[in-house]
Amino acid sequence: MNESCFDASDLYNELDEWVDDFWTWAKSQKQEYEWETDYEHWPRIYSVFSKLIETTEPSHWYRKTINNLLYLIARDHECTGLIHKVSEKPESLLFLAQEGLFYPDPDVRWQLAYCLTKISKSYPKAESIICTFCDDSDEYVRRRATLALGSIQSGYAEEKAIAAWKMNLEYQQIAALEVLKQIESKQLEHYVKLAANSEFKYVRSYAERIIEEVHKIANRKKD
């Protein structure tokens, strides 16, 4: 169904009402762990959210609608069903990703970076947006974006992985090693050697895993 075939204003208004309802409920909750999943009306939100994505186009969304969509995606970060729904419409995902670059909640930004990998082959703009997320102010967003570049074998993956390593943060360095391994970078050996002597326990452990994997591959080739 195309938006021109019906009046979408009721749909936008219904989304507003459910966001308001969630917001009111959220104020009474202890916001820790997976607190959002306790909201009892997620099925209703999924329904109106899905219908809006399926039947309307970003060019017709109000500013409030855009903010509502980003807010709900962020609140659904434990299940990620809403962002996967958006990824079914690549142009809508690209639009929200650009809108979400500076959205204040990192729980929407990392999901956007992650889901852009699903459309990167057909939409080159997705790769450049992921690169922007690699420079995000939030550590977890940067990490997920760097891993996303590795997963799509981006030409920028090595550069961003090395930049992540230089931040000298434990999980950034683990992500850097993973990406260098994914893209079979010539720099991997150098960074594995650095990792083997890292001050960080989990970085050293990850380096050991990579060394073991390399040895297993080498032995298989000999056989």
| pLDDT tens digit sequence for 81-99 | 999 999 999 999 999 999 9
pLDDT above 90: residue 1: no
| CA geometry: angle 66, 68, 72, nearest 5 deg | 120
Q: What is the mean pLDDT of residues 17-38?
A: 96
Residue 4 is predicted with a pLDDT of 45
Q: Show the DSSP H helices in 7-105 as ranges.
A: 9-26, 42-55, 63-75, 81-86, 90-100
Whether 87 and 115 have beta carbons less than 8 Å apart is answered as yes
The pTM score is 0.92
pLDDT in tens, 99-134: 999 999 999 999 999 999 999 999 999 999 999 999
Angle at 105 between CA 104 and CA 111, to 5 degrees: 125
pLDDT for 2 equals 45
What distance in Å separates the CA atoms of residue 208 and residue 197, rounded to the nearest whole number? 11
- Exposure pattern of 21-58 as b/e (b: 16+ CB <10 Å)? ebeeeeeeeeeeeeebeebeebeebbebbeebbeebeb
**pLDDT over 90 for what percent of the chain?**
91
Please give the Cα distance from 202 to 100 (Å, whole number). 31
| Residues with Cβ within 8 Å of residue 16, at least 6 apart in sequence | 64, 68
Which residue bears the tokens 């075939």? 5
- CATH code: domain 3-160 is 1.25.10
- In the block, tokens 């409920």 appear at 25
SS3 assignment, position 85: helix
